[in-house]
Amino acid sequence: MNTPSKPYKRPVSVLVVIHHQCQRFLMLQRIDNADFWQSVTGSLEADELPLDTAIRELCEETGLCLAKEQVHDWQLHYDYDIYPEYWHRYPPGTRRNTEHVFSVDVALDSPITIAPAEHSAYRWVDADTALTLAYSPSNRNAIAQLILQAAS
């Protein structure tokens, strides 16, 4: 469980969808569950703003260290139930999380360096595959919204 060296996570996080012109999406496979593919996610640290977390998590999880101007803040958040297998990461009794949504449009040849403690693989995939792979409903919703925006 949690120790003084590893404090509980805040139940506030970010989701950063990485795409190339809303046609290709970068999906990351979690190391603790081979079926769990996702975009970049991460909890806010103490006194951290969602945009700062999005930038930090992008850099930590993919090696894409971008400027604030390159990250699109959707001014949208999803509230969802935390998966039971992750309850121990949060303060006792915490069962809901608020996830702020961001996206970045990057070149397909952008160098990607995944965080080996969190992810075992990454793939650039088409929109349909991204929707199929995305494990969490909030991740699927965000990808679907990007696809709809591109089509209009």
Is pLDDT of 52 > 50?
yes
Domain ranges of the chain: 12-151
Give one word for 28, left, alpha or beta, with left for phi > 0 and alpha for psi -120 to 50.
beta
Confidence class for position 131, pLDDT limits 50, 70, 90: very high
Determine the topology of domain 12-151 in CATH. Answer: Nucleoside Triphosphate Pyrophosphohydrolase (3.90.79)
Give me the amino acid identity at 19.
H
Bridge pairing between strands 72-81 and 96-105: antiparallel
Average pLDDT over residues 86-115: 96
5-9, 19-23, 62-66, 100-104: lowest mean pLDDT where? 5-9
Residues 128, 129, 134, 135, CA torsion sign: positive
How does DSSP assign 38-75, residue by residue? ESEEEEPPTT--HHHHHHHHHHHHHS----GGGSEEEE
Q: What is the mean pLDDT of residues 41-49?
A: 95
Return the structure tokens found at 68: 């604030």
Looking only at the bridges linking them, the beta strands covering 12-20 and 119-126 are unpaired
User: pTM of the full predicted structure?
Assistant: 0.93
Cα separation values, 112 from 22, 58, 124, Å: 18, 10, 11
Distance CA 19, CA 103 (A): 7
As a whole number, mean pLDDT of residues 102-108 equals 97
| Whole-number Å distance between alpha carbons of 94 and 26 | 30
Q: How far apart are the first and last CA of the chain?
A: 47
